[in-house]
Amino acid sequence: MHDAPPRACPCCDSTRAEPWTAYSPDSWEVVRCTSCDLTYLRNPVAYEALETDFAWEKTYEAKKESSKGSTSLSPAIRSLRKKLGLTHRDKQAKFRSWFNDGHVLDIGCGLGGRIRPPMTPYGIELSRELHARADAYMREHGGYCVFGPGAEAIWEFDAGQLDGIVMNSYLEHETEVLKVLRGAHRALKDTGAVYIRVPNFGSVNRRVIGPKWCGFRYPDHVNYFTLSTLRDTCARAGFRTELINRIALPVDDNITVLLHKETS
């Protein structure tokens, strides 16, 4: 499992890193890049292992048990978000507005129901069983689903084919971050946008709770972004970042952004 050479930083490709010993249980090596400050897992497993031995369902249930569902701050944070009017709204209306009711790709789409008509749904899915079901649903609505890792499959779409791309709880799992982002940049129309939601390594929860923070999950979470490191990474792929959860960010366990192509 750990025979491969240590992984370089997925943002800047540097091999200079400091260990996060407190966040490195068992044989997992979580480190901070000393060049760009990104925190990442230096010894991830292969895609095949993520589909079997370390499937999302297994690691999620294990994490839920170890952290008792989330963190001790979560009830207070949920109450604060409700008072501030920051509770989640229907994403469909937002997706339709952001993506102009167009052709929308969901990377790591699962069963495929996240993108609904009048948008045309496309997907990428690593699980063979889920891919088959998602592809059937998407073809009924004018699109299709590609089987395989996101960083490879994104290049099967035509340049400028898509009005929107959704990476919901996906980028923290992707070992080849820049490859998938550059593929997204190529496949996206100049007027399109990319929706990203990832765990917020800069959150108050992570700083207070430490190793039991709900955002840690080994080994399928391989990147741990702050807003700064997420912006830096996306800029290297030609995107500018628009923060969506601006007010709630310090007390939110997730970062939500839209990416837009940089214009010259």
Structural domains of the chain in order of their starting residue, each with its CATH number: 17-261 (3.40.50.150)
Residue 63 has pLDDT above 50, yes or no: no
Q: Round to whole Å and give the CA distance between 182 and 234.
A: 9
The C-alpha atoms of residue 119 and residue 141 are separated, in whole angstroms, by 9
Local confidence band at 86 (pLDDT 50, 70, 90 cut-offs): very low
**pLDDT averaged over the chain?**
88
Longest CA–CA span in the chain (Å) reads 50
137-172 pLDDT tens trace: 999 999 999 999 999 999 999 999 999 999 999 999
| Nearest CA-CA partner of 103 in 116, 122, 90, 125 | 122
> pTM of this prediction?
0.87
Average pLDDT in the 42-65 region? Answer: 58
The token pair at 14 is 């540097």
Distances from the Cα of 36 to the Cα of 10, 31, 124, 134, 141, angstroms: 10, 12, 29, 37, 42
Per-residue pLDDT band for 45 (boundaries 50, 70, 90) equals: confident
Residue bearing the bigger pLDDT, 67 or 101: 101
Using the predicted structure, report yes or no on whether residue 54 has a pLDDT greater than 80.
no
Lowest mean pLDDT among 4-13, 40-49, 145-154, 174-183: 40-49
